[in-house]
Amino acid sequence: MVTGALLRAGVRHAVCGGVAVTVHGATRSTKDIDVLVAPEDLARAVDAIRPVGYTFAAFPMVFDEGTQRERHVQRVSKIVGHEHLVVDFLLARGALEGFLDDRVEVALPEGTFVVVSRQTLIRMKRQAGRAQDLADIEKLERGDGG
């Protein structure tokens, strides 16, 4: 639903994070959808997913400001029953500059799904360096999904 809305709106994007890890063959669960977008497309991206229920926007967040790892994130969410569903738009600037240029289109029965390439995903995970990211890298590099 989210990626379809972004495609229909013409927003250049690429799914990254846990969903992309799974797309690249290393299955794992995740609690949110991480989507890389160009800074100039952020407003259109937020507007594009509003009709599918993502109406709650948090204040913009900056992580590791002033460092080589600086990341800008806009969180948008919706509530369905007792579930809080989250989309984190990561801006392709700072540490993520240029990462949007390395995308892969995956054909699914529901339509086209765009993710960062396996190599770019690993670079993003190395940059973040959290325990989950390092475990994801190990699974991706092993290529066995387990």
- Distance of alpha carbon 126 from alpha carbon 145, whole angstroms: 18
pLDDT of residue 108: 85
The structural domains of the chain, ordered by start, are 2-138 (3.30.460)
Is the overall model pTM greater than 0.85, yes or no? yes
Tell me the pLDDT tens digit for each residue of 82-98.
999 999 999 999 889 99
Q: What angle do CA 37, 42, 47 make, to 5 degrees?
A: 120
pLDDT of residue 110: 85
pLDDT of residue 31: 86
Low-confidence ranges of the chain (pLDDT < 70): 144-146
pLDDT of residue 145: 53
**Which letter, b or e, does each residue of 52-79 get, where b requires 16 or more Cβ atoms within 10 Å of its Cβ?**
eebeeeeeeeeeeeeeeeebbebbbbbe
pLDDT of residue 80: 92
Tell me the pLDDT tens digit for each residue of 96-106.
999 999 999 99
pLDDT of residue 22: 92
At residue 133, what are phi and psi to the nearest 5 degrees?
A: -65, -45
